[in-house]
Amino acid sequence: MLLFFSFPWLLGVFSSVAQGPAVAAPPSEAAKLEWRANRPLTWEDFKSRPMSDRLAALTSSSIDAKVGCVDYVFSAQVKAVFVPTESWVRDPKRATPTLLRHEQVHFDLTEVHARLLRQKLSLVKLDCEKLQPAFNNITKMAFLTWQREEARYDQETNHGLNQPRQQAWEQQVQQRLQQLDAFALK
């Protein structure tokens, strides 16, 4: 028996607001950048035009999850991705390294939550006959937790303007990535 489900959960992080699954067709895999520890974001990655007067930049990231069963054996693939065609910076010439670090932490938080989802999926026993509803329940909670943390990050750092809080978040997120290293993609 061969079953595969793909759930490209597109949760755009708008420097404090995450939206639910996108209505438009999701960007192609080639149009996304997978999270890599040795590949930080650059302003050149932000390809879209500004869509808000309130924000200096917007990071659109998602957790793409694919699950399946082959001969009743469950498998999952979970990736944190950045979507350049939905991400933007208002004024690239005046964009600061500090603002880019703030946006990087949004993407790093996406990876933290992708690792948490990988951890959760490694611990649960999913019935291949009832895979879709069980997976939906797990991911719904995972994505709500991620959305809340993204919003809290922007609130506590005032979108990166509160430097002491920004630095604290940067350190905390790096520590969490290290703690969850066993669930990083190799």
Choose the weakest-confidence range: 22-36, 52-66, 128-142, 165-179: 22-36
What's the pLDDT at 70?
82
Count of the separate structural domains present in the chain: 1
Mean pLDDT of 113-131: 88
C-alpha dihedral, 179 to 160 to 49 to 29, nearest 10°: 0
Whether residue 111 has pLDDT greater than 90: yes
Instruction: Give tens-digit pLDDT for 128-171.
Output: 887 888 888 898 999 999 999 999 999 999 999 999 999 999 99
Mean pLDDT of 45-51: 94
Six token digits for residue 100: 């880019």
Count of Cβ atoms closer than 10 Å to residue 48 Cβ: 14
User: 13 falls in which pLDDT band (50, 70, 90)?
Assistant: very low
Whether residue 100 has pLDDT greater than 80: yes
Domain extent for 71: 2-183
Residue type, 55: L
Per DSSP, the residues of 100-124 read HHHHHHHHHHHHHHHHHHHHHHHHS
Six token digits for residue 151: 């919003």
**Maximal CA-CA distance, the chain:** 55
What's the pLDDT at 51?
87
What's the pLDDT at 73?
81
What's the pLDDT at 26?
57
Q: What percent of the chain has pLDDT over 90?
A: 63
What's the pLDDT at 42?
97
